[in-house]
A and B are shown apart, each in its own frame.
Chain A
Amino acid sequence: MTTNGTPLIEVQNLVKTFGSTKALNEVSTSIHKGEVVVVIGPSGSGKSTFLRCLNLLEVPTSGRILFDGTDITDPNVNINLHRQKMGMVFQLFNLFPHMTVLKNLTLAPIKLLKKTPEQARETAMALLSRVGLADRASSYPSQLSGGQKQRIAIVRALCMEPEVMLFDEPTSALDPEMVGEVLDVMKDLAKNNMTMVVVTHEMGFAREVATRLLFMDEGKILEDNTPAEFFANPQHSRAREFLSKVL
């Protein structure tokens, strides 16, 4: 699904090294509005690093990342403004344990979007209802299950009204019976045309929801294809090997 016009995110020759290991090796791709890009690959393939470079949680060693046409790797760019438009969901949720759910959701909108507490609360409650957790607004994160925490974490990112959502293995730390409820929220987002980049091991989700699939290994994108095409007919021997292990 390559839409016309300029891509929302354009990655050019991205390189990230940790000491002597090259986590990302000349990665280039572009992500358009409305796409759901799922990144898969064996562990250590660089897929998480790739995702974390997109909002500069990892600072790339070289290469450029254009977001809405702005090169956010430029040190003179105020990255905080761009991060507001890039929601991120972490494997370990990273909710703020000292705040109630509602406070978790409204902190950034109040401080950064300059919303009044009432406005922020309204948005938060509407989104909470959408994920079925309106009754947990005054709970603390420690009182929630893993699946609930992750749904709250997704809502926290959504409260900033982002243009793109980045998911870093959002279901990997969950008990199996809680994976479904989180994936359902993500499917719902995809259905509503949210642009998403998802690093995951959930092949079912990739097959069902992704509009595009990136297969990474050793810091490179080896395949860039539609999920149907990828699962039916993987081009690269690495991809075939990977699929034979995970399917």
Chain B
Amino acid sequence: MVVYNSVIVDWWNKVSRSFYQNFIDANRWKYLYNGLGVTLQIAFFAVLLGIAIGVIVSSIRSTYELNDKRGPVLRFGNFLCKIYITVIRGTPVLLQLLIIYFVIFASVRIDKVLTASIAFGINSGAYVAEIFRSGIMSIDKGQFEAGRSLGLNYLQTMRYIILPQAFKNILPALGNEFIVLIKETSIAGYIGMHDLTKGADIIRSQTYAPFPPLLAAGIIYLVIVVGLTSLVTRLERRLRSSDH
């Protein structure tokens, strides 16, 4: 029993010493705290940009697909959107981030958070666009015809009939995309940003104890993702209850 106790005490002492060294000493917790702030900022603005791009691109793509009459402007717009989606989905997000930082914004040094938000937003936009488009196309064509037959124009039919139903269908996929996006921002360290992952890595390089800071970062990501998931689930349930 005594031996047993001393093992636990030893272990506890080791853990608390390690905790002190990694997080309390020299205010190292601030690397995680500030890193979390950077991660959330990038993710937030990237989500907004991604939604904006997604709305525009999916509007063009589904208008193209839903209409028989396709003018040259619509055809060209659809062509550009397809190229955008193909390139973004066909190349690694890290490569896109590096190109945007080192090539596109090479001469104009703007805020790094902004640069990263733009990179991740452009990346996310391609996926969001396809999610929106699939949601719109998942609605039965009869719904569209019913709206148009009443005299509603294309935009009114979209707004009152198609989009409310489509949104309900895409919510899980959209929530998933945002979760992926938050985790993807962990590569921002490649352009010298001190995000959550980079913060943990800095602590590691100072204390030579890799596990505690990396574990801490992992827990923080997990808490954010679990919180977001429950939020989406609750929203889904609320939308479902409205139509039995």
Contact = CB atoms under 8 A, between A and B. Distances in A.
B152 A92 contact: no
A160 B149 CA distance: 11
Contacts of B69: 59
Contacts of A143: 244
B199 to A, nearest CB: 44
A80 B151 contact: yes
Contacts of A80: 148, 151-153
Interface string B205-244: 0000000000000000000000000000000000000111
Range of interface residues on chain A?
Answer: 20 to 34
Interface string B141-180: 0110111111111001000110011001000000000000
A94 B156 CA distance: 17
B68 interface: yes
A92 B142 contact: yes
Contacts of B153: 80
A81 interface: yes
A231 interface: no
Nearest to B154: A80
Contacts of A92: 142
Contact of B152 (A82, A95, A112, A142): A112
Given A97-B243, A142-B244, A84 B145 contact: no
A157 B142 CA distance: 15
Q: Is the interface of B mostly helix, strand, loop or mixed?
A: helix
Contact of A97 (B148, B149, B152, B165): B165
A83 B150 contact: yes
Nearest to B239: A98
B139 to A, nearest CB: 10
B165 A88 contact: no
Nearest to B69: A59
A54 to B, nearest CB: 11
Interface in A42-87: 55, 57, 59, 80-84, 86-87
B168 A83 contact: no
Contacts of B145: 57, 88, 90, 94
29 contacts: A57-B148, A57-B149, A80-B148, A80-B151, A80-B153, A81-B151, A83-B149, A83-B151, A86-B149, A90-B145, A90-B149, A92-B142, A96-B143, A96-B146, A96-B161, A97-B165, A97-B243, A98-B165, A98-B168, A98-B243, A107-B150, A108-B150, A108-B152, A112-B150, A112-B152, A140-B244, A142-B244, A157-B150, A160-B150
Interface of B: 68-69, 140, 142-143, 145-153, 156, 160-161, 164-165, 168, 242-244
Closest 8 CB pairs of A and B: A84-B151, A94-B146, A88-B149, A94-B142, A108-B150, A83-B151, A80-B151, A80-B153
